[in-house]
Structure 1
C-alpha cells in the first residue's frame, strides 16, 4: 500500500476512534422539567436569580405559626420527598415547619452546570428568602446532603440557628484529614466504589462513562446494589416502600445531572476545608453529627476523625446502626429534638 494512502487511512481511523470515544464519555442532553421534551412540572417552584428553578415541598406547622423552621437537604439518589419521618405529636408539640427541596438536577429542580458545594448553600438561602421564612433557620442534611451542611456552616453561618449532619458523605481528599484515617476509610469501601470515587476526584470528565459502561462494575451506590447495605439497613427497607410512588422522578432529568454530578461535587476539590471551620455558635445553637458505626456506605472512620478535629461538634455514634438509621421508628424525632434543645 502506498505510504501516503496508509497515512490518510490511519488519520481517518484515528479521528473516528476519537469521535466514538467522545460520544461515549459525553452525557446526553438533560431532560429539563417543563421543556418541550422534558417531564412535566408538578411541584411548587421558585425562580432563582440565575434563572434556574428550584422545586420544594412544605410540611408540618404552617410557616406563619411555626416556632421552629427546618430546612432539610436530601441525600444521594433522592429527592424532596425523602425526609425523615416525624411524628405528628412532635410536629404539633414543638411547632415545627419543614421545608424540603430538590437539589439541582434532582426531581423538578433545574440542573446547575456550575454546581458546587457553595452553590447549594446559596440556593438554600435564596429559597428561604423568597418564601419569607425569616432571617434564621435550622438545617438538617442526610448522606451527601449532610456533607453540604459543612458548606452551609462556611458560607451562610449567620443564617443558621443550628445544624444536624446525619450519616454524611466525607471527601477522602479534604486537607487536614490524617492520611492513615483517610486511607482506612477509603479501604473499607467495595473495590468498585474505590475506583468510582477516584474517577470522580481525578477524572470527573469520565464519570458518566464510568458509571454507564458494561465492561466492569461501576459505583455500587449509583447501581443501587444491596452489597453496601448493613443488616439494619435491610431491615429498614420495607419502610421505604412508599418511595415507589415518586422514585421515577429522582433521576428523570438525567443520571449525569443528578447522581453523577453529586459524585463530582462531593469528591471534588472543595473551595474550603471543613476541618478548618470554627464554631459558628459560640453562644447559642449547636452542630450535631450523627453516624452509624456499621454504615457500609459511609465508613464511620472519618466521622470519628472529624469529631476529634472539631470538638465543638456534638458527636452521636450509634453502635448497631447502618446508613438508613434515620428512618427507624422514633429516630427522626430524636434528631429534631436534639437539634432544637440539645442533649437532654
Structure 2
C-alpha cells in the first residue's frame, strides 16, 4: 500500500539540537572490532540505524533530537571497512547480521527496530531476515533498491558499481581524493551529492552530513568499495524471510534512488507499506521521515 505525504518539515530550530554521541566498540564472533555510537536516552526503546554508502555512525546525529522526543535510543554502528570498524574479508550483504548481533549483545538488547538510510537498506533487510523475531520492524528511508528491479538506476551509481567490480583500486583512489577535497570544502560540497538544493539544507544538518562523510574514510576505504560493488549485483537476500513489518519512505524528487524502485521493492516484500513524500529529495526524505519513523518504531 502506498500513501503520499505532502507535509513539510518543522523549522530547523525546532527539529535539531547539538547531538550527544556516546561511542563504544563491540567484538564480533571472529574477534573483529565493531565501532558504534548511540544517541538519545540510554533507557529508550532501541533502534539500530544503518548509515548510507558511504557513511558512518556519525550520521545517527541527525536522528538525535527525534530520538529524545520519542524516547528512542538510536544505535548506529560503523559497518565493516567504515570509520573505526576494520574491513571484513569477503563480506557480502548477507553477512550484515554478523556485525549487528554483537552490538545488540554488547548493549544487552534482546529486540530492536531497524531504520536504514540509502545504501543501508539492503543490510537492514539482510539483518531482519537473519535475526528473525529479534527485529520488531524495519523502516527504509530513501533506501537503495535491488538492481534487478529496473533500469532506472542513475548513471553515476552504475559507474561506481562498475568501477568497484572491475577496478576497485581506482575507485579507492577516487574516494580518497574526494575525501581530501571534502575535508577542505564547505559542507555543501558533500550535501550536494544528496540534495537538489544544498544551500537550502539547514547548516546543522549539513555539518553532520560532512562529518559523516569524512568519518566514513577516517581509517579505511574498503567499506565503500565493497558496498558499491554489492549495490550493482544480486543482494542474495530472501525477501520472503523478512517477517517483521517494513515501511518504506521515499521522496518523489529523489534523484539518487528513483521512487519507482521503492514501489517495486514494496511489492516484493511480504508485509510492506510505502509512504511517498511529495517534493522530497534524497536527504530531504531522511530529514522529513526520521521523526515519524522513530515514533513508529517504539
Structure 2 length as normaliser, TM-score? 0.77
TM-superposed CA distance for 1:226, in Å, is 7.3
1:316 matched to 2:280? The reply is no
| 2:216 corresponds to | 250
1:91 maps to 2:50: no
**2:63 aligns to what SS in structure 1?**
coil
8 Å CA contact 1:293, 1:317 repeated in 2? yes
User: 1:22 matched to which residue of 2?
Assistant: none
Q: Do the aligned partners of 2:55 and 2:82 also contact (CA within 8 Å) in 1?
A: yes
Distance 1:293 1:141, change over 3 A: same
For the 8 Å contact 2:147–2:233, the answer to whether it is kept is: no
Contact kept in structure 2, 1:71 and 1:99, CA below 8 Å: yes
1:107 maps to what in 2?
83
Aligned counterparts of 1:244 and 1:231: Cα–Cα separation in 2: 16
Shift of 1:337: 1.6
Stretches of 4+ moved more than 3 A in 1?
A: 210-213, 224-230, 242-248
The answer to whether the 8 A contact 1:44-1:56 is kept is yes
Distance 1:264 1:194, change over 3 A: closer
Q: Which residue of 190, 193, 207 maps to 2:168?
A: 207
CA distance in 2, matches of 1:227, 1:242: 13
Aligned length, in residue pairs: 262
Corresponding residue to 1:155 among 130, 142, 145: 130
Distance across 2 between alignment mates of 1:278 and 1:52: 27
CA distance in 2, matches of 1:278, 1:229: 31
Gaps of at least 5 residues in structure 2 are 1-21, 175-188
Is the 8 Å Cα contact of residues 49 and 116 (structure 2) preserved in structure 1? yes
Cα deviation, 1:305-334, whole Å, max 9, x if unaligned, reads 122333620101112011102453x64212
SS in 1 for 2:59: coil
Q: Distance in 1 between matches of 2:273 and 2:41?
A: 27
Q: In the alignment, which of 111, 117, 122 is matched to residue 98 of structure 2?
A: 122
- Flag the structure with more relative contact order, 1 or 2, with Cα contacts below 8 A and sequence separation at least 6: 2
Give the unaligned 5+ runs of structure 1. Answer: 1-41, 214-223
What is the CA–CA distance in structure 2 between the aligned matches of 1:248 and 1:307, rounded to whole Å?
32
State the structure with more CA Rg: 1
Give the whole-Å Cα distance in 2 for the aligned partners of 1:325 and 1:270: 26
